[in-house]
């Protein structure tokens, strides 16, 4: 409480870059910052610097859906995100920074019996792993979210939902700032406006990182750059199984509390939640073509608006206020690419698609462990880049098609 009166810097003003760091982290988003924090906190490795080409949290960390959940389809994915949610639940206290984790539950609506089967499949995996997740019918949906149009008026009537009570939304910027502050206080250096322009490679190792502010030698290098992952890996001469796409979202003008739970519809390709500020946060799918250009599209706004009103016709006169886009790094199986690469001291957090933010703390914990010990934690072993070379994928992508 006393903190609210005292004006204290969240993090130190960045100084000059040193000539060498034990660990150089490329990307000052939630993953890079979390990794740095856990390196320092759990492993005592503090000779760490974070290189961020813009301001911290300027990429996907500050542009995502803010949705946190663990109800994934694969046992590998669900177990991983389960740990992430558990960490998020304790994170405000651990970082002494209120991340405003609003855990009011998460509903994935089904509008077809195929949608119901997909929900059921996730619920079954989740339950076995101890994740609260169940398929519910319209009556229970009405209790949880009476505002939803559960009649048969909508073009896509709601048949049921996958209900995930621990799901919710969080203040995404706060996560970035909380990790940054904590990492900084443990001695990690954060260097915003420092872009990596080259990776010096000597055989199986990266020896140094070139930046717009000079060259730094590195014991180990971690890349956590989401949509830009292919470009950073490219500096080390590596190709990745990733394509970069834009994801768009918007908020409306703030209104009084209307919606507690997070609503997602797979079939309508839209999600909606209401922030603590009162804005509705609405988004849809990624754009199907690859691009690094972050301008939004009108068709996205039109499509999302149309589909939100299918769910909540009451909102037709609520006004769209602000739109934005972010870059997503999409992997072929919708599972992340996390951990070691073929370059001995170059580690990767990439391929998150639209799921990255949900994983920030557990990425930090596991990557820090990998960097500190050289051993891949069991939890992330299935997500190694190598799986694309051995062709053993982890499909978060239930085939959308259903036939006959």
Q: What b/e sequence results for 169-197 when a residue is b if at least 16 CB atoms lie within 10 Å of its CB, and e otherwise?
A: bbbbebbbbbbbbbbbebebbbbbebebe
> In the bound complex, what is the minimum distance in angstroms from residue 209's beta carbon to other proteins?
19
Indicate the residue among 28 and 218 with the shorter CB distance to other proteins.
Answer: 28
Identify whether the C-beta of residue 134 lies closer than 8 Å to the C-beta of residue 83. no
Whole-angstrom Cα distance, residue 168 to residue 97? Answer: 18
Indicate the residue among 219 and 278 with the shorter CB distance to other proteins.
Answer: 278
Whole-angstrom Cα distance, residue 167 to residue 154? Answer: 26
Tell whether the torsion through CA atoms of 38, 174, 52 and 334 is positive or negative: positive
> In the bound complex, what is the minimum distance in angstroms from residue 344's beta carbon to other proteins?
19
Start-to-end CA distance of the chain, whole Å, equals: 62
- The torsion angles phi and psi of 305, rounded to 5 degrees, stand at -60, -45
Among 162, 175, 33, 52, residue whose Cα is nearest residue 102: 175
Indicate the residue among 220 and 267 with the shorter CB distance to other proteins.
Answer: 267
Here the tokens at position 142 are: 């009405």
Indicate the residue among 279 and 369 with the shorter CB distance to other proteins.
Answer: 279
Indicate the residue among 329 and 368 with the shorter CB distance to other proteins.
Answer: 329
Indicate the residue among 19 and 128 with the shorter CB distance to other proteins.
Answer: 128
Q: Where are the alpha helices (DSSP H) in 23-112?
A: 30-43, 75-95
> In the bound complex, what is the minimum distance in angstroms from residue 155's beta carbon to other proteins?
3
- 3-class DSSP state for residue 304? helix
Among 377, 382, 328, residue whose Cα is nearest residue 355: 328
Indicate the residue among 85 and 218 with the shorter CB distance to other proteins.
Answer: 85
Indicate the residue among 45 and 311 with the shorter CB distance to other proteins.
Answer: 311
> In the bound complex, what is the minimum distance in angstroms from residue 62's beta carbon to other proteins?
7
> In the bound complex, what is the minimum distance in angstroms from residue 372's beta carbon to other proteins?
28
> In the bound complex, what is the minimum distance in angstroms from residue 404's beta carbon to other proteins?
6
Identify whether the C-beta of residue 53 lies closer than 8 Å to the C-beta of residue 193. yes
Q: What angle do CA 55, 57, 60 make, to 5 degrees?
A: 125
Residues in the chain: 404
- What number of other Cβ atoms are within 10 A of residue 390's Cβ? 8
> In the bound complex, what is the minimum distance in angstroms from residue 187's beta carbon to other proteins?
16
> In the bound complex, what is the minimum distance in angstroms from residue 92's beta carbon to other proteins?
5
Indicate the residue among 41 and 111 with the shorter CB distance to other proteins.
Answer: 111
> In the bound complex, what is the minimum distance in angstroms from residue 6's beta carbon to other proteins?
10
Whole-angstrom Cα distance, residue 105 to residue 155? Answer: 25
Identify whether the C-beta of residue 349 lies closer than 8 Å to the C-beta of residue 340. no
């Amino acid at each position: 409480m006393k903190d609210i009166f005292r004006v204290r810097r969240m993090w130190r003003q960045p100084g000059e870059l040193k000539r060498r760091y034990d660990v150089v982290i490329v990307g000052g988003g939630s993953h890079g910052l979390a990794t740095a924090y856990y390196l320092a906190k759990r492993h005592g490795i503090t000779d760490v610097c974070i290189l961020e080409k813009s301001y911290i949290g300027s990429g996907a960390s500050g542009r995502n859906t803010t949705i946190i959940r663990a109800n994934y389809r694969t046992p590998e994915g669900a177990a991983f995100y389960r740990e992430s949610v558990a960490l998020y639940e304790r994170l405000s206290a651990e970082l002494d920074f209120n991340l405003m984790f609003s855990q009011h539950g998460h509903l994935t609506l089904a509008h077809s019996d195929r949608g119901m089967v997909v929900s059921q499949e996730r619920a079954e995996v989740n339950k076995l792993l101890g994740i609260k997740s169940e398929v519910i019918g319209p009556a229970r949906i009405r209790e949880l979210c009476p505002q939803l149009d559960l009649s048969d008026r909508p073009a896509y009537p709601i048949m049921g939902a996958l209900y995930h009570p621990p799901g919710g939304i969080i203040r995404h910027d706060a996560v970035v700032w909380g990790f940054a502050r904590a990492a900084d206080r443990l001695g990690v250096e954060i260097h915003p406006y420092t872009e990596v322009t080259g990776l010096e490679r000597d055989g199986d190792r990266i020896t140094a990182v070139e930046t717009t502010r000079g060259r730094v030698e590195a014991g180990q290098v971690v890349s956590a750059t989401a949509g830009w992952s292919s470009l950073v890996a490219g500096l080390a001469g590596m190709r990745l199984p990733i394509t970069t796409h834009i994801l768009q979202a918007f908020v409306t003008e703030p209104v009084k509390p209307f919606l507690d739970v997070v609503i997602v519809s797979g079939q309508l390709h839209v999600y909606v939640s209401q922030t603590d500020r009162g804005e509705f946060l609405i988004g849809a799918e990624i754009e199907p073509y690859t691009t690094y250009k972050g301008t939004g599209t009108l068709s996205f706004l039109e499509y999302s608006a149309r589909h939100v009103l299918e769910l909540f016709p009451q909102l037709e006169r609520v006004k769209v206020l602000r739109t934005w886009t972010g870059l997503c790094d999409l992997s072929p199986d919708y599972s992340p690419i996390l951990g070691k690469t073929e370059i001995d001291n170059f580690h990767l957090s990439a391929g998150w698609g639209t799921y990255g933010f949900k994983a920030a703390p557990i990425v930090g914990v596991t990557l820090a462990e990998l960097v500190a010990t050289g051993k891949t934690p069991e939890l992330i072993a299935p997500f190694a880049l190598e799986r694309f070379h051995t062709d053993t994928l982890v499909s978060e992508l239930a085939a959308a098609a259903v036939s006959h």
